[in-house]
Amino acid sequence: MSDTLSAKITLDKDFVISAVDPRLFGGFIEHIGRAVYTGIYEPGHPAADPDGLRADVYELVRELDMPVTRYPGGNFVSGYNWEDGVGPRAQRPRRLDLAWRAVETNQFGTNEFIRWCRKANTAPLLAVNLGTRGADAAAALVEYCNHPGGSAWSDLRRAHGHAAPHGVKLWCLGNEMDGPWQMGHRSAGLYGQAAASAAHMMKRVDPTIELVVCGSSHRKMRTFGAWELEVLEHTYDLVDYLSLHTYYGDHEHDLPGFLAKPDTMSDFIDETAALCDAVAARRHATRRMMLSFDEWNVWYHSNAQDERVTPWAVAPPLVEDVYTAADALVVGGMLITLLNHADRVKVACIAQTVNVIGPIMTRPGGPAWRQTIFYPFQQASRFGRGVVLRQLVESPTYDAKERAGVPYLKSACVWQPADQTLTVFALNRSLDQSLALAVDLRAFPTLALKEWVTLRYADLDACNTADQPNTVTPQTRTGATVTREGLSAVLGPASWNVIRLERPT
Give me the catalytic one of 30, 230, 295, 320.
295
- Per the annotation, the verdict on 295 as an active-site residue is yes
Q: Which residues contact 362 (CB under 8 A, 6 or more apart)?
A: 34, 38, 39, 42, 54, 56, 57, 354, 355, 368, 369
Catalytic residue among 104, 176, 228, 230: 176
* Active site (annotated) includes residue 42: no
The answer, yes or no, to whether the previous bond of 107 is cis (omega within 30 of 0) is no
Bridge-based pairing state of the strands 397-398 and 68-71:
unpaired
The residues, ordered by sequence, that sit 6+ positions from 389 with a Cβ below 8 Å of its Cβ are 11, 12, 13, 15, 16, 17, 413, 414, 415
Query: How many angstroms separate the Cα of 498 from the Cα of each of 93, 225, 238, 330, 494?
Result: 48, 36, 39, 15, 14
Is omega for the bond preceding 74 within 30 degrees of 0, making it cis?
yes
Q: At what angle do helices 188-205 and 135-146 cross, to 10 degrees?
A: 30
Would you say the C-alpha torsion 229, 293, 384, 260 has a positive or negative sign? negative
d(CA 204, CA 371): 43
The Cα angle at residue 155 between residues 149 and 156, in degrees rounded to 5: 150
Using alpha carbons, list the distances in angstroms from residue 6 to 48, 60, 158, 213, 492: 50, 37, 62, 43, 12
Kindly list the catalytic residues: 176, 295
